[in-house]
Structure 1
């Protein structure tokens, strides 16, 4: 386990103890230990293996035992016991933004509430307002948090959904009679959250693959050739079993949204075609369709990539040959916005650089946290200089790769960036992001971010709405104004590729394209394997209709560096 993962479990133990009514001295010990573990400059596993953890200030014998168990077993028996003992409803309340364990304990003690449903009712009855330490604003935030929980139930993040669906597809392809299996539905369209997945399988007999489905998860229902199985994470996967001759049409049918299929059906009807979930029919004859492109060709349409099949204007645009040329992995020359052990990343500069190089990129832009982000070991000015010197040394050893000197600078509450101008000028690029004070009004937050965009050192506006999918709504901000200001000041807007963020939302990208905005795919990688998050950012920009010429990642390292002295338009020319 990583330091961050261990710290999270220790912090959870502290929260569970608060919910049990333990004394403050004991609960604070766990909170302090969690912070110490997360801010250690070396892996806690190494300290455990070398019997040095007990020398860290504040690490008592019991805490060392808990952490040692986490390192060696990947779990804590004490943590598991507490999870069993504390009411599940109180634990669910911990997921409500702005409602900490102590406030939850107060609600439990004074209102005898131990479920989210009861809490919502109490808020509607204005009962929280009367509790010490609460008030109308707290009650309003709690209601918003409960609404988010209700909206998030049953949804899954795209990386986990894709991994699980592909895993089942791979298992099915090992069956000797299955010749094809492809993911469809929301997963193939690369939606940002997934309620259920679809899988089209080239095997007409659902009974023949049932043993594989039972090994994968719980088989819930069967409707003719369609079977629903619930995977390990709780993701429902609808498996559509079809013969080879109908595979492409079925894949088309279960990929597009209902809106897309409706528009295609109308377009087809105007041309004398009927499309079912299995066949394309013309003049009462079934037309062979060996792949999806044939369907669109028959209808006189450009092939519509899966990401665009949402029921908007894509059919009309395809009919007029106006679909945008979407970027592919080959267009991504470099990976921008990554963290190292200088701040809260898990791997060194060298490891992150070699990871990017091994993936075929020509450069990596390292953007560790700035000094205000103390929780993430943000870089002091001295550490900035130290990192830049190491980057120079590493770059001297490359002739086919480059490390760019970047920073993820906090946008402070007044809109200023986190270093004086002379320090900001030393970076090759600056990602400006909000990490605090999310509760500002829309007007104030917008002005705060506009000021940062107007700073001449800002290259990219990072994760512009601050959302965490299925966990936290974005802060209120005028996105259209941010895009307009970014265009006016040659600042790119990030599409943060971390599956927990995927921010900016793809629905805003079309507006950006019409205004001439530039975008940057940033994996926000804190681990070398998270460099692969670029895939999800690429899916989002494709979904939003962004073209390769509008991506900073399609620039060379030299062109990116020119952004500090020139402009985006100059660099792109």
Structure 2
């Protein structure tokens, strides 16, 4: 497909990454996204002369990782023409995700819940970090899954320890480039049946922040679920109660009913322990439901508005949670990821 005829000076890597970002934002099929991210990675290995020669010779598709669609994007961008595939992605997915939430979104300094390809995310750690930086975050907490969640390739203590070294390397690279953005060390730790947390105490202590979430036996008896959740909230290393009902309201995985529990007891524990209730901004979750969001507000809880991003483009989701928080009248000061990094870390590890 030919380009639009409109001038474009962003370069081929920027064009490919932007297409991938917008497809992820719209939760399009992973294979489509990987085609463009893979092509961007391939182009990065080429010098400007090598790339220009491949465009002139029409040999881009001979290169590993570059298919017909991405080759067209690259060729147009090299020639200074806005690729039609990028223009279409901007038309379809580039507009505001919602009509509200902008004022609170501007107050957010970071995101406390994100996943990389170390567990069930789709992109490398560094891509998640660089995208968060580009979106204006001061920090992003990397919270890959814990070991019991095998379907999501949860991290054993040994793998998590290796990941922490990678996070240090990413931060060193960012600092060397003059950036003040920080990738923080975290985990989305599974809440066990008895309310324990699915990682060793020693590893939990090495982290900057922990999101505790229920992922199994979501339909268990309400009394047992209440005991389980309250125990997790009262664990001394818990900081955020993730997607508390576990519901799914739309999306490719279908729908799922809310877990049943005594919300008054759970939110009272959160308020007492200083554990934030997550406002999970994923469109298919919208968790907690509005009535529980308002109940947590009235209980005096802190909150965290998070993307639960599994791909870089999904790091744009928090505005959806901001709209809900604004509608519920939740003051920005009660939302812990409006706080500066040092205050956040003092709260999480106090």
Normalising by structure 2, report the TM-score. Answer: 0.70
Please tell me whether Structure 1 or Structure 2 has the larger radius of gyration of its CA atoms. 1
Matched, 1:383 2:167: no
Aligned-pair CA distance for 1:557:
1.6
- What secondary structure does 1:443 align onto? helix
Unpaired runs of 5+ in structure 2? 1-22, 39-65, 70-90
- Measured after TM superposition, the shift of residue 513 of structure 1 is 2.6
Q: Are 2:237 and 1:457 aligned?
A: yes
Matches within 5 A, 1:387-402: 387-397=163-173, 398=175, 399-402=179-182
User: Residues of 2 paired with 1:167 and 1:523: CA distance?
Assistant: 21
Q: Which residue of 2 aligns with 1:351?
A: 127
Query: Higher strand proportion, which one?
Result: 1
* Match in the other structure for 2:286: 502
- Residue 113 of structure 2 is aligned to residue 337 of structure 1: yes
Deviations along 1:222-266, one digit per CA (max 9) or x if unpaired, are xxxxxxxxxxxxxxxxxxxxxxxxxxxxxxxxxxxxxxxxxxxxx
Task: Tell me the SS of whatever aligns to 1:338.
Answer: coil
| Residue in 2 that maps onto 1:447 | 227
2:258 paired with 1:474: yes
1:391 shift after superposition: 0.9
- Asked if the contact 1:460–1:492 (Cα under 8 Å) also holds between the matched residues in 2, the reply is yes
What is the CA–CA distance in structure 2 between the aligned matches of 1:480 and 1:539, rounded to whole Å? 24
Contact 2:208 2:349 in 1 (8 A): no
1:360 aligned residue: 136
Q: Conserved in 2, the CA contact under 8 Å of 1:522 and 1:537?
A: yes
Alpha-carbon deviation of 1:510? 2.9
In the alignment, structure 1 residue 556 sits paired with structure 2 residue 336: no
- Cα deviation, 1:346-382, whole Å, max 9, x if unaligned, reads 1111110110100111010110011111000100111
Distance 1:535 1:6, change over 3 A: closer
Q: Distance in 1 between matches of 2:324 and 2:209?
A: 23
Among 306, 328, 349, the alignment partner of 1:544 is 328
Check conservation: 2:270, 2:277, Cα contact below 8 A.
Answer: yes
Show the counterpart of 1:516.
Answer: 300
**So what's the TM-score if we normalise by structure 1?**
0.43
Q: Displacement, 1:386? A: 0.8
SS in 2 for 1:465: coil
Report the Cα distance in structure 2 between the residues aligned to 1:354 and 1:400, rounded to whole angstroms.
12
Deviation of 1:328 (Å) = 2.0
In structure 2, distance between residues paired with 1:553 and 1:455: 21
Tell me whether 1:486 sits opposite 2:270 in the alignment: yes
Structure 2 partner of 1:565: 349
Asked whether the 8 Å contact 2:157–2:200 carries over to 1, the reply is: no
Answering whether residue 181 of structure 2 is matched by residue 408 of structure 1, we say no
Give me the whole-angstrom Cα distance separating, in 2, the residues matched to 1:409 and 1:451. 14
**Residue of structure 2 equivalent to 1:173:** none
> Corresponding residue for 1:423?
203
Structure 1 residue 439: Cα displacement? 2.0
Task: Give the root-mean-square deviation of aligned CA atoms.
Answer: 3.1
The 3-state SS of whatever aligns with 1:344 is: coil
8 Å contact kept, 1:327–1:547: no
Q: How does 1:228-247 map onto structure 2 within 5 Å?
A: none
Deviations 1:177-219 (A, max 9, x none): xxxxx99xxx75x7xxxxxxxxxxxxxxxxxxxxxxxxxxxxx
The unaligned stretches of length 5 or more in structure 1 are 8-41, 47-70, 75-165, 171-181, 191-306, 308-325, 567-573
Q: Per-residue displacement from partner, 1:384-442 (whole Å, max 9, x unpaired)? A: 11111111111123241101101000001111100121111111111000111112111
